[in-house]
Structure 1
Amino acid sequence: MTTDASIGLIGIGAMGLPMATNLQRRGHAPWVRDTDPRAVAAATDSGLVACDSAAALAQRCDTVIVVVVDAAQVDDVLFGRGGVVHAERPASAPQQTVVLCSTIAPDDTVRFCDRLAGHGIATVDAPISGGPARAENGTLSMMVAAEAATFARCEPLLREMASALYAVGERVGDGARVKLVNNLLAGINLVAGAEGLSLGSRLGLDRRLLFDVINASSGASWIFSDRMARALVHDFAPRARAGILTKDVALAVQMAADAGVATPLGEQALAVFRATVAAGFGDADDAAVIRTLDPDF
């Protein structure tokens, strides 16, 4: 296999691996990197080529896509020992670009952008939404903030990963802000949907019938339909882990607090998510919030 030396992807878990295989199917052969041997094994089984460090990957790649869990992991893969900035690239190489797809605080995004700029590396603030199936199909939603020239250079690649590509502006950090507003609503809607289905169940209503009525009525939401369909059949295998959405809602609530904006519903949803994690469901699908409200599920 001929490896496409222009693209690398760091973080090949639930979202990163299907993103990499999508690019592979479209004719690329991205280098990949992860610290989890199981993730590396899954990637190599898919025909992808793994690197021993983020620096080794960055040495080969003009564009480095980062899809790790949180800001601490982003910091480590970019600036830690063996991080991206330590790659030894020839002076003749094109300017390198880091595409940040992780959901992190806007202030962290800006901080990483400034530090990367000090190494001559451009940043695309590009958090994603849509789940593993859409990642594998290249139909993610992506909220992009980047300087115009950087966006123009990366746009063709971004469109291979996201069918819903939203250019939200040139101010790095705005992609993160849009993503956190979305995930705040996702978290609130999920908890509300779980609460409604739990209430109906405790009132003796048929769960499936209630689910169908809600989906056809004003109480419907995409996340209710997706997650509560799983809950109805007791399927809590992780597609989107409860711990991840807990982290995201916490970031959104903190972002609002920093801006002096009250988010009472967000705070209530966050309390339910934290209780879900405390109950041992952090690594389960986030549909497991209903088990916090109704242990019979």
Structure 2
Amino acid sequence: MSTGKRIGIVGIGAMGMAMARNLHRKGFPVAVRDIRSEAEQQARACGMQVCPSAASLARESALIIIVVVNAAQIDEVLFGIDGVVHGAAAGTTVMLCSTIAPQDTVSFAQRLAQHDIDTIDAPVSGGPARAEAGTMSMMLAAGDALLQRHEQVLDALGDKRFVISAAVGDGAKAKLVNNLLAGINLVAGAEALALGIKLGLEPGKLFDVICASSGASWIFQDRMARALKDDFSPRAFAHILTKDVTLATALADNAQYDTPLGDAALAAFRRTLESGFGALDDAAVIKTYLQEAQ
């Protein structure tokens, strides 16, 4: 860090808490804020400072990492009554790690600049386990000087850091392209595994075959391993990936680019939500296929 001030993290859900734990373990002073008291209690028990508002957190922090769900929540965190802009000093940096539309990222950066606050566009990937280990993938869009100012923190957060460009919004674009493919791969894997089950194959053996063969993908191995244990405790909520694929296909539409596989994956995720599985892990998409196969 460039100063002795704390790193502030707003949004300590699965990813945000894992990032906070990682930084705290590595000796960075961490302050947190969340609307859920149970999350704040957990952070306090780990020895982190808990702030009563985003504004008070901003007064304590040189770098503020935002890890909330969507653009509406970011808008409230940054510009609401007790938002970041009401506490942050000039020269503070906000790092946007949520998966949102690129135009929202650009808009937030422009509005923050009016308060002399810098923005790093920094969506992340890898899940809570990699976030806590400091091995996330990060898609960064910001100027070199700004990235260098926070190099120590970025190095602690992710060992796979990709500087997409200096243009804020390009990180968000890269993340949506990645998540479009992640969603397609997950739906395709769930569809194939459900077919095998429908055909009477032993699921565990078929899973092993696929993982060792040409049908393998990282997200298939990660998510279907949990599904086979009937473990749908959310590491990544089904409704979150549905949101991400929705944003990705909208981005493609705006670029006048057809994504038929993405559209099919989105339809499967929407059926998963309609079946009441939105609050489960996104591996629950296989529950939709198995339910429909009955």
Query: TM-score scaled by structure 2?
Result: 0.96
List aligned pairs for 1:1-297, cutoff 5 A. Answer: 5-87=5-87, 89=89, 95-295=91-291
* Shift in Å, 1:6: 3.0
* Shift in Å, 1:5: 2.5
Moved segments of 4+, more than 6 Å:
none
| CA distance in structure 1 between the partners assigned to 2:171 and 2:86 by the alignment | 26
Would the aligned equivalents of 2:102 and 2:170 in 1 still touch at CA under 8 Å? Answer: yes
SS at structure 2 position matched to 1:253: helix
Would the aligned equivalents of 2:237 and 2:280 in 1 still touch at CA under 8 Å? Answer: yes
> 1:38-71, CA deviations, whole angstroms, 9 ceiling, x for partnerless residues?
1111111211111000000001111100000000
| CA distance in structure 2 between the partners assigned to 1:44 and 1:243 by the alignment | 28
Would the aligned equivalents of 1:191 and 1:289 in 2 still touch at CA under 8 Å? Answer: yes
Would the aligned equivalents of 1:191 and 1:272 in 2 still touch at CA under 8 Å? Answer: yes
Match of 1:59, as an amino acid? R
* Shift in Å, 1:115: 0.3
Question: Structure 1 residues 88, 181: closer, same or farther in 2, change over 3 A?
Answer: closer
* Shift in Å, 1:88: 5.9
> 1:256-286, CA deviations, whole angstroms, 9 ceiling, x for partnerless residues?
0011110111011001111111111111000
| CA distance in structure 2 between the partners assigned to 1:228 and 1:18 by the alignment | 22
Match of 1:60, as an amino acid? E
Structure 2 residues without counterparts, runs of 5 or longer = none
Moved more, 36-45 or 159-168: 36-45
Would the aligned equivalents of 1:69 and 1:103 in 2 still touch at CA under 8 Å? Answer: yes
Moved more, 144-153 or 192-201: 144-153
Number of residue pairs the alignment of both structures matches: 290
> 1:82-140, CA deviations, whole angstroms, 9 ceiling, x for partnerless residues?
00001164xxxx61000000000000000000000010000000000000111111110
SS at structure 2 position matched to 1:15: helix
| CA distance in structure 2 between the partners assigned to 1:139 and 1:275 by the alignment | 33
Query: TM-score scaled by structure 1?
Result: 0.95
Match of 2:106, as an amino acid? V
| CA distance in structure 2 between the partners assigned to 1:112 and 1:147 by the alignment | 16
Would the aligned equivalents of 1:230 and 1:236 in 2 still touch at CA under 8 Å? Answer: yes
| Percentage of identical aligned residues | 58
| CA distance in structure 1 between the partners assigned to 2:145 and 2:270 by the alignment | 41
Question: Structure 1 residues 290, 100: closer, same or farther in 2, change over 3 A?
Answer: same
Moved more, 119-128 or 37-46: 37-46
| CA distance in structure 2 between the partners assigned to 1:8 and 1:97 by the alignment | 10
> 1:147-194, CA deviations, whole angstroms, 9 ceiling, x for partnerless residues?
221111122211100010111110100000000000000000000000
